Structure 1
Amino acid sequence: MSENNLKPEKNDDLSVTDKPFFTAVLTPYRSLGSNGFLVLMLCFGLISFVSGILFWRIGAWPVFGFFGLDVAILWFAFQMNYRSARIFEEVALSRHEISIRKVGPGKNYQEYCFNPVWVRLTVKRIEDEGVVKICLTSRGESVDLGNFLNPDDRTSFAGAMANALAVAKAGGA
């Protein structure tokens, strides 16, 4: 076999060590799911309809329309709430890169990439509330993480992120 037929071997060492060892997808918590929303709207609609009929029978027929308007406004408010719940943040941390992708409602998104060696994690705590802010800063650029999370989830994520960042800075994984 001649030397021209030999192909250089791929060095997969770099690709293996650069795979993310910490990933997280942060999503806002919504206590009322789709089935609960359906039950709520059916109950509220039924109560409004029965109340509207009673007002109609005593001669106050315009009130019936206002009860319908209340149902429509409540439905619209929940739809806006569920639309805002479609936001999420993806965080991936490897030995050589922190990748953050913030996805908003619709097709809006922002992406940030940092070198973990130069990143500073800032966690702001308030005694009664717990963690209120998580921020990554590198070379003059700052990114807030998990602003929509509740304090307990924010505290848990801050601890996990601090541990993963310490591992990345130590060169492990």
Structure 2
Amino acid sequence: MLSTPLGEGAELTTMEPWQAAELAAFTDRHRAHLEPWLPWTYVVHDEASARRFLQKYADSQARDAGRIFAIRLDGELVGNMIYRLFDTEQGSCELGAWLAPEAQGRGLVTRAAGRMIDWAVDVRGLSRVEWLVNPANKASIAVARRLGMTHEGTMRSLFEMAGERHDMELWALLDHEWRETRGR
């Protein structure tokens, strides 16, 4: 399996449709923690729905339009990272992440996002990386800040989830800003 070490027994690995049972079990264990932030938790309920979710990203990867990865700690799935959008023509992508509560506070998302930004900017030549976050999700906003992103604004009432409208903050980082951030 392809993987990138994140240190301290953690790694960023591929996540594919054949791993649907693992994602379904992860989602079931952490649903209450994930549901306030992630619309996909309302559609992933079993192995079949997890397979459809992962297949969507496999199809996106085949089109060079998005990807999903696993964050593993000592081999166990503890979270995921995504290029929710990946647009080489426009030179931009959007990152997303989720993590099990017991894996928080170790810098895993920050390190994984950093590896993904490195690849998007240095290998693929993208100019812009975005991070969308619910304004109440302080942990995710802290990741954006640690990555050196700038809060560009808040999109009000952007989408409906669980019968409520939700705002989203847009944080972004430009390629030259990332290079400066890494240089420090």
Shorter-chain-normalised TM-score: which range? under 0.3
Of the two, which has the highest radius of gyration? 1
Give 1 or 2: higher strand fraction.
Answer: 2
Give 1 or 2: higher helix fraction.
Answer: 1
- Higher relative contact order (Cα pairs below 8 Å, separated by 6+ residues): 1
- Name the TM-score, length of structure 2 as normaliser: 0.23
- Name the TM-score, length of structure 1 as normaliser: 0.24
